[in-house]
Amino acid sequence: MPGWCGSGTQRQGCGEPHRSSCGAGGDVRPAPSLSSTPLGFTLTMRMDMLSESSLQKMGLNERQIFAVERIKVEGSITSGIYQSLTGVSAATAFRDLKALVDLGVLEQVGPSRRETRYILRKKSP
Protein backbone atom coordinates (compact mmCIF):
# COMPACT_ATOMS: atom_id res chain seq x y z
CA MET A 1 0.00 0.00 0.00
CA PRO A 2 1.51 3.40 -0.88
CA GLY A 3 2.33 6.01 1.76
CA TRP A 4 -0.12 8.85 2.16
CA CYS A 5 0.74 12.42 2.90
CA GLY A 6 -0.88 14.81 5.28
CA SER A 7 0.08 17.63 7.56
CA GLY A 8 -0.96 16.15 10.87
CA THR A 9 -4.39 14.60 10.55
CA GLN A 10 -6.19 12.68 7.85
CA ARG A 11 -8.61 15.52 7.12
CA GLN A 12 -5.71 17.90 6.38
CA GLY A 13 -3.89 15.56 3.97
CA CYS A 14 -4.16 15.89 0.22
CA GLY A 15 -5.52 12.34 -0.06
CA GLU A 16 -3.11 11.33 -2.80
CA PRO A 17 -0.36 8.73 -2.70
CA HIS A 18 2.75 10.31 -1.20
CA ARG A 19 4.85 12.29 -3.64
CA SER A 20 7.28 15.10 -3.06
CA SER A 21 4.84 17.38 -4.90
CA CYS A 22 2.03 16.85 -2.36
CA GLY A 23 0.90 19.85 -0.38
CA ALA A 24 2.56 18.57 2.80
CA GLY A 25 5.95 19.29 1.29
CA GLY A 26 7.38 15.77 1.44
CA ASP A 27 6.02 14.74 4.83
CA VAL A 28 7.24 11.16 5.19
CA ARG A 29 5.20 8.76 7.32
CA PRO A 30 5.34 4.99 7.68
CA ALA A 31 2.92 3.34 5.27
CA PRO A 32 -0.19 1.86 6.89
CA SER A 33 -0.68 -1.91 6.56
CA LEU A 34 -3.97 -3.64 5.85
CA SER A 35 -4.53 -7.29 6.74
CA SER A 36 -7.53 -9.54 6.39
CA THR A 37 -8.95 -11.42 9.38
CA PRO A 38 -11.80 -13.95 9.58
CA LEU A 39 -14.10 -11.26 11.00
CA GLY A 40 -13.06 -8.33 8.82
CA PHE A 41 -9.80 -6.48 8.42
CA THR A 42 -7.16 -4.71 10.49
CA LEU A 43 -5.62 -1.37 9.55
CA THR A 44 -2.33 -0.63 11.31
CA MET A 45 -1.00 2.92 11.25
CA ARG A 46 2.37 3.60 12.80
CA MET A 47 3.67 6.84 14.24
CA ASP A 48 6.98 8.24 13.00
CA MET A 49 9.22 7.85 16.06
CA LEU A 50 11.82 10.09 14.43
CA SER A 51 9.66 13.17 14.00
CA GLU A 52 11.30 16.57 14.22
CA SER A 53 9.89 17.18 17.70
CA SER A 54 11.16 13.83 19.03
CA LEU A 55 14.59 14.50 17.51
CA GLN A 56 14.67 17.91 19.21
CA LYS A 57 13.81 16.25 22.54
CA MET A 58 16.83 13.97 22.02
CA GLY A 59 19.00 17.10 21.96
CA LEU A 60 19.98 16.98 18.29
CA ASN A 61 21.14 20.13 16.57
CA GLU A 62 19.45 21.52 13.44
CA ARG A 63 22.07 19.95 11.14
CA GLN A 64 21.51 16.50 12.60
CA ILE A 65 17.72 16.83 12.36
CA PHE A 66 18.14 17.94 8.73
CA ALA A 67 20.29 14.85 8.06
CA VAL A 68 17.69 12.48 9.54
CA GLU A 69 14.90 14.13 7.54
CA ARG A 70 17.00 13.86 4.37
CA ILE A 71 17.75 10.17 5.02
CA LYS A 72 14.01 9.50 5.43
CA VAL A 73 13.51 10.77 1.88
CA GLU A 74 16.75 9.74 0.14
CA GLY A 75 17.50 6.51 2.04
CA SER A 76 21.07 7.34 3.05
CA ILE A 77 23.68 10.06 3.35
CA THR A 78 27.47 10.20 3.20
CA SER A 79 29.78 12.40 5.21
CA GLY A 80 30.67 14.31 2.04
CA ILE A 81 27.04 15.01 1.20
CA TYR A 82 26.43 16.06 4.81
CA GLN A 83 29.37 18.48 4.58
CA SER A 84 28.15 20.03 1.34
CA LEU A 85 24.55 20.37 2.57
CA THR A 86 25.41 21.85 5.94
CA GLY A 87 28.66 23.70 5.18
CA VAL A 88 30.59 22.07 8.03
CA SER A 89 34.12 20.68 8.11
CA ALA A 90 34.91 16.99 7.72
CA ALA A 91 35.64 16.75 11.47
CA THR A 92 32.29 18.31 12.41
CA ALA A 93 30.44 16.08 9.93
CA PHE A 94 32.11 13.02 11.45
CA ARG A 95 31.19 14.12 15.01
CA ASP A 96 27.58 14.92 14.09
CA LEU A 97 27.04 11.62 12.26
CA LYS A 98 28.88 9.60 14.92
CA ALA A 99 26.62 11.12 17.59
CA LEU A 100 23.58 9.95 15.60
CA VAL A 101 25.08 6.45 15.40
CA ASP A 102 25.88 6.47 19.14
CA LEU A 103 22.28 7.50 19.92
CA GLY A 104 21.00 4.59 17.86
CA VAL A 105 19.28 6.77 15.27
CA LEU A 106 21.60 5.87 12.37
CA GLU A 107 23.82 2.97 11.46
CA GLN A 108 26.94 2.94 9.32
CA VAL A 109 27.01 0.71 6.26
CA GLY A 110 29.59 0.22 3.56
CA PRO A 111 32.46 -2.03 2.62
CA SER A 112 35.13 0.55 3.48
CA ARG A 113 35.61 3.82 5.31
CA ARG A 114 35.69 5.67 2.01
CA GLU A 115 32.34 4.18 0.93
CA THR A 116 30.55 4.58 4.29
CA ARG A 117 26.91 5.60 4.12
CA TYR A 118 24.57 6.33 6.99
CA ILE A 119 21.05 4.88 7.03
CA LEU A 120 18.22 4.92 9.54
CA ARG A 121 18.63 2.19 12.11
CA LYS A 122 15.99 -0.53 11.77
CA LYS A 123 14.82 -0.22 15.39
CA SER A 124 14.17 3.20 16.90
CA PRO A 125 16.28 4.21 19.91
Q: Would you place residue 2 in the very low, low, confident or very high pLDDT band (cuts 50, 70, 90)? A: very low
pLDDT confidence of residue 70: 94
Same domain, 101 and 66: yes
Residue 37 has pLDDT above 80, yes or no: yes
pLDDT confidence of residue 47: 64
5 occurs within a structural domain: no
Same domain, 33 and 17: yes
Residue-number span of the structural domain to which 91 is assigned: 52-120
Q: Please name the residues in contact with 123: beta carbons below 8 A apart, sequence gap of 6 or more.
A: 104
Contact 93, 85 (CB under 8 A): no
28 occurs within a structural domain: yes
> Which is more confident, 83 or 36?
83
Count of domains observed in the chain:
2
Cα 84 vs. chain centroid, distance in angstroms? 19
> Which is more confident, 48 or 100?
100
Same domain, 59 and 102: yes
pLDDT confidence of residue 62: 94
Q: What is the pLDDT of residues 102-113, one digit of tens each?
A: 999 999 998 887
Residue 22 has pLDDT above 50, yes or no: no
4 occurs within a structural domain: no
Q: What is the pLDDT of residues 69-100, one digit of tens each?
A: 999 999 999 999 999 999 999 999 999 999 99
SS (H, E, C) 6-55: CCCCHHHCCCCECCCCCCCCCCCCCCCEEEEECCEEEEECCCCCCCHHHH
